[in-house]
Each structure stands twice: as structure tokens, then as C-alpha cells.
A and B are shown apart, each in its own frame.
Chain A
Amino acid sequence: MTVLDATGVSVTTSGHVLLDSVDIRASSGECVAVRGANGSGKTTLLRVLCGLLAPSTGRVLLDGVPLSDRRAEHRAELSALVGSPAAYPDMTVIEHLELICASWKVPVDEAERRITSILDELELGLLRDRFPGELSSGQLQLFSLAQVLVRPFSVLVIDEPEQRLDAHRLALVADAITGVRESGAAIILATHSDDLVSTACTREISLDDAR
């Protein structure tokens, strides 16, 4: 059972407290929503949970081992969307997904199945041969999600997946996240969307309460 476990995590920069002593834990098959007002530290927490930012206090464990972006096994287990990933401007949507799968040594047939499934799930099939520069902002958000979901992982960290999405596409994302959760992954997502929380998440924590 994969567990991402953060205890007493805080981040302080130049005397300013960005995140104040947060405890959060996600197990396999669980989706935890992180909620809070703008500036409450949601993205900072997610950056800590991805290993991109070292906490000032506290610790983050992945399967009981201190999380480190340097560990190959941790990079393999944890997939994250925090901010928009920079895409290759000269590569199409499907070529991105293929390259991501290949980089994680996913067999060709399995990669094809995963890619088709995700493109269908997020209704990106018609955009498969487009370059990133030819996508709208909402389509880009779905494309970013597809990149994160297509690779193998057991822990998923996502920052505000509802950004720039209409209600229909938000429902698609909620279904995709629910599918990932039901497949046994542990998920932590920061969101402002009540719909997403009620549809896809199993529990929530509020950083407003923590403060």
C-alpha cells in the first residue's frame, strides 16, 4: 500500500510563513482535497509533497522513506501537475504522450492502450495531431493532465485541475481522477471546486483551519 505522509510541514522564507505546520496523509485508493483561500499555501504544500521544495520544518515520507526528487524510485512512483509543464512546441499531443510512456519503459502495446484511453477519457482524440501552440487554454490544461496521467505512478499530486475548464470538461477530469483513485493510486489535489471535491475526493483538509 502506497502512502504519502507529511507531518508538521511548514515553509518559511525570509521570515515570512508560507505554510504553517500541516499534517496530511494519503493512502492507496484515497483522494484528499486540499482547500483554502488564495495565498493559504496550497501550492507551496504541493511543491513540498512533490519534493520540489524542502520544508523548513517537518518531514515527508513516501512509503516510509524520506521523499527526495533525487531518488529514481520516488520519481517513478509520484506523478505531479503543479503549474503547466513546458511542452515541446514542435511535437504533437500524441507524440508527447508516446515519448512520456517510452521514457518510463512502458511497452508499446500498453502505451498505445493507455494513450487511447486517456485521450478518449479527456475527449482529446480529435486534437491528437495538434501542436501545443494550436490548443486553447482549456485544451492545454487537459493536455497537461493527460501528460501526468499517461505515465505509470502510484501517487498523484495535482494543483487546481479545474483551471480554465468549463463544466463539461471539469466533469471529464473528475471522472478521470475517480478512475485513477479506483485503480488504487493515492491522490492529493488542491482545488477550489466543490463539484470536484464532491465527485472525486474521499476526504478534504482545509489550510484555512490549519492556520
Chain B
Amino acid sequence: MSAASPSFARVRRTLLARGAAREPRDVALTVYSVGLGALVAMVPIIRTLVLTLAAPGPAAVLTAPYVRALITTGCLLVLLIVTALGGVRGAVVPAPPYVQFVVGGAYPRSITLRRSMLSVHAVSVTVSVVSALIMCAAVSTAGSRITAVTVTSSVAMAVAFGAVLATAWLAGQVFRIVRTSSAVAVLLLAVAGTVTVTGGYTDAVAKIAASTASALAWPASASAVTATIVVCVVSAFVAIVASSAMLDRVRRTELMRQAVVWRAAGTLALTADMRGTVDSIRQPARHRPAHVRWATRSVALRILVRDVGGVLRHPVRTLVGAASALAAGALVPAMLGASANGAALAGAVSALLAYAAAGAWSDGLRSHADNIGAPTLFGFRAGTGILMHVVTPLLAMILLLLAGVALVTVPAAGGSPAAPPPEDASLWTAALALGVLACALRAHGAVKGPMPLRLLAPISTPAGDASILVITAWALDGPVLAIIAGLVLVMAVPGGVLPVLGATVVMLAILAPWAWLRLRDRRSR
């Protein structure tokens, strides 16, 4: 390998010289853009995050005894999800020509893919460390005493977690352990949900977590910090070495498949074709359980079974959807009690996550909508089909969003009186409303149809053609409407249950006729 490295460096220099060669001014522009972006966008976002987490509700969670168990569970869940995602989009996905001519060449993949993997490690560790620092800053801002020992051990743990996370992502790409990691993640979610609902979270799990690896991040004494740092550094080192060894086991066919799929997705995303982008990365159904006879004559029940079956045949998407919905639910309590900016941010992010999660359960809805305007195959009307296909995502979303709220408020109620009480009905109503609105937006999006050609007409302004703004707004109307819905709920939640219900009814009253007009337009096209 040592003999090959210099020659590969020459190959790489040649590639750069022929292709994406960067001149000093390109590098300077990149540095300037990243720096400016960090200052203008990231710093305010991080500051808002710190202030949001420092509000009484979230801070109560961060300082509660069970926080170790919560963070350990969350980290394990993220590890499992990322491992499962490796089979869809791995840690290293270079451009197709690079895979064809360089990765498929004579050099070991531990050399040809090394830089990409190191970049993934760097990003993963950075995000992990920044997250840990945000939590430390939030706890400190909330008034709790936080020592250098705590910060140091948290950062060390974050470094190790970031490195292990990147390696787990690569492991998912190499070994395609989608089903196993998905199953373990679901099991983990089920256990966490059960102990939360039964009230055992604060006692039993906290004790278990305190005696396991999670305790490393919260060492009881200063002398234990050294041991923590050593363990974390060794873990990070082992993870990086393991990833280097694993690179040689990456299959070229799988790498090329992912490279082609993600290149196509990138191109479609640039053209603002969001539906095309999602379709291009959609994994085909793989899981094929034994054929089940449906004895019922009820069409609605058969559609429900069909949709549930479809969900089970896409374990990764289902898992990601479930995690997103739980996270959306967990953010709902932050709509109440946080600062105005924090509540707005929580509402917007929660609504976006809910909208994204609903997409994971809406395949039946989309497939059914694709047939609108074609000769009918089924013995029910298009609108009826849409309503029947909404049932599965609606049930799943409501259940998961409420579970998300419970995950935060039920343990918090035992841990700190500052947290929103679980009996605060407006929170549960807001979660319910979020689920209903996310599904309504999915149905509204499913009947959208192709982009009207009139939107492509140029719009002359002194700054140039502004038609791209209209096209982008049309392409992203779902997420934009979701954010608006989240912000409306944030305004309604402090008023109690009735304002939340009223706001939901008003938004549904706007969405339903709009969707019906789209449906009518599709049918007559």
C-alpha cells in the first residue's frame, strides 16, 4: 500500500487537473462562503437552539436524572438508523466516473475512497461535538452548574460517537444490514416507549444507564475524566481504523448503483423536481412476506391492509418515518413555555418533520393518485380512494406524535415541575392537529399533478428572471405549507384546546377545497 500511495496521489492530481481543478481563488471563495454562511445563518440558529433548550421545559429534561438514558437511547437509535441508511445512501458515494475508472481500477479502495471517508468522519465528529456543546451551553444558560469536567467528558464522548457513527454508516453500506438494524431500532423504540408509558423510565432505566457506557459522559469525579477521555480517544481511533479496513470490502456494483442514483437525484433536485427527486432515490420493495388471503369484503379494510403491508415492505423508510414522527412529537412541548423565537422554531421544525414522516406512510396515497385521469381500474372514485389511503398515515402519525409528546412530558413530569405537565391538553391536541395536517398536506400534494407550463414563463425584474422563485414555490409548496401550519399551531397552543382545534379546522377548510380543485383538474386533463 505504501508503494501504491504516491502513484495514486499522482493519479488524483491528474484527475483534479483535468476535471474539477480548484484555483486559489476558488478555494478563497469557498472559505468566504462557508465563513459567511456560518456567521449569517449558523450562529443565529445555534444561539436560538441554545436559548430554546435553556427554556424551563427543555432545560428540565436536560437536567433531569433520566437524561443519560434518554441521550443513550437517542444515540443508539441514530446509530441504528444510520446503519440502515447505509444500504440506501452509504458514507462514501463518489461521482459515477470516479467509481468506474478509479475505484474500479488497480488501487485498493482503502486508498481511492480514503479522502471521502475521512471527510465523513470529520463532518460527523464536528456535528456531534457542536451538538454536545449546544447542550452544555443550554444547561449552563438555564442556570445549572456545569464544570469543565462535564464539558470535557461530553466533548470526548461526542468525538467518539461521531467517529463510530461514520463507521456504522459505512458498515451499513458494506454489509447492507438493513433489516437487522431496522428491527433492532424498532425494538429499541418499543422498549423505550413501553418503559415511558409504564413510568419506569425515570427509575429503572436511569439506573441501568448510569451503570453502562452512558455513564462515561457524566463521570462522577474529576479523576474519572482521564479514563473517559482515554476510552473515547481509543474508540474513535478504532472506529477510524475499522472504517479504513472496511473500505476494501465496499462492492463496486453497489457503489456504482448508489453513485448513479444519487447523481440523478441531485440533478432532479436542481431542477426543483422534488417528486422526481424522491422517486429516484426510492428503494424498490424488497421484503416479500408470504401471500396472505384477505377474507374481508370491506374495500376500506383491504386498502388499510394494503397500505400497512406496503409500509412493512420498506423497513428503512418506515423506520426513518417513525423516528421523524417521534422527534416531531417530542418538539411539540417546546411550542409552549419556550421563548417566542424558540417556540416558532420548534413549531416549524416539528411541522416539517411531521410532513416528512407522513411521506414515509403515504406510498399508497401517491400510487393511487398517479392513476387519476386514467381509465379507472378500481370500483371506487378517485376521491374515495384518496380518503381510504389517508387512513394508514393518519393513524400512524397520530400514534407516533402522541408517543413523541409522551416521551418528553411524561418523564419530565416526574423529574421537574418546570416541564409542561402531561395533562396539558393543548399539547396533545397540537400533536393530534399536526398529524391531521401533515396527512392532509400529503393528500393535497399527491393530487398536485405536473407543473403548469405557464409557470415556466419568464418574469422580468431588474434583478433578472424571477420565474425560478415561482417554480421553487410550486415545487416546495408542501414543506412551505407545513411550516406555516406549524407556526399557526404555535400561536394557537397557548390559548388552549379550542384555539388549536379552530386553527386546524380553518387550515383544513383551506386545504380541502384546494385539493379538490387539483383533483378535478387532474381528472379533466
Contacts and interface: CB of A to CB of B under 8 A. Distances in A.
A210 interface: no
B377 A151 contact: yes
Interface stretch (B22-30, B294-302, B431-439): B294-302
A86 B449 CA distance: 14
B375 A79 contact: yes
A94 to B, nearest CB: 7
Interface residues of A, number: 38
A86 B380 contact: no
B520 to A, nearest CB: 11
B377 A147 contact: yes
A82 B299 contact: no
A100 interface: yes
B302 to A, nearest CB: 5
Interface string B350-373: 000000000000011001101101
Q: Which one of B284, B364, B379 has the highest number of Cβ atoms from chain A below 10 Å of its Cβ?
A: B379
Contacts, number: 91
B370 A86 contact: yes
Contact of A102 (B284, B288, B294, B363): B294
B41 interface: no
B295 A108 contact: yes
A127 interface: no
A95 B367 CA distance: 14
A50 B374 CA distance: 9
A89 B295 contact: no
A52 interface: yes
B310 interface: yes
Nearest to A52: B375
Contact of B374 (A78, A86, A104): A86
Nearest to A152: B379
Contacts of B523: 69
Given A50-B375, A82-B375, A105 B288 contact: no
Interface residues of B, number: 31
B284 A105 contact: no
A37 interface: no
A4 to B, nearest CB: 14
A86 B367 contact: yes
A103 B299 contact: yes
Interface in B291-309: 291, 294-295, 297, 299, 302-303, 306, 309
A88 B377 contact: no
Nearest to B311: A90
A103 B313 CA distance: 22
Interface string B224-236: 0000000000000
A133 interface: yes
B378 A99 contact: yes
B297 A105 contact: yes
Contact of B291 (A78, A94, A133): A94
A53 B232 CA distance: 68
A158 B51 CA distance: 64
Contacts of A85: 371, 374-375, 377
A81 B285 CA distance: 25
A73 B302 CA distance: 23
Given A88-B310, A151-B377, A131 B285 contact: yes
Nearest to A104: B379
A107 B288 CA distance: 26
Interface in A56-90: 69, 75-76, 78-83, 85-90
Interface in B151-168: none
A50 to B, nearest CB: 5
A90 B310 contact: yes
Contacts of A88: 306, 310, 363-364, 367-368
Contact of B306 (A83, A95, A134, A148): A95
B297 A100 contact: no
B279 to A, nearest CB: 10
B306 A103 contact: no
A99 B302 contact: yes
Contacts of B288: 92, 129, 131
A157 interface: yes
A80 B375 CA distance: 6
A107 B284 CA distance: 31
Q: Shortest 9 CB-CB distances between A and B: which pairs?
A: A80-B375, A86-B370, A90-B310, A104-B379, A103-B379, A103-B378, A90-B285, A88-B367, A133-B284
Interface of A: 50, 52, 69, 75-76, 78-83, 85-92, 94-95, 98-100, 102-105, 107-108, 129, 131, 133-134, 147-148, 151, 157
Given A91-B310, A102-B297, A129-B291, 17 more contacts: A50-B375, A52-B375, A75-B376, A75-B379, A79-B375, A85-B371, A85-B377, A88-B306, A89-B282, A98-B294, A99-B378, A103-B379, A105-B299, A131-B288, A147-B377, A151-B377, A151-B379
18 contacts: A75-B376, A75-B379, A82-B374, A85-B375, A89-B285, A92-B291, A95-B309, A98-B294, A99-B303, A99-B378, A100-B378, A102-B297, A103-B380, A105-B379, A131-B285, A131-B288, A133-B284, A133-B285
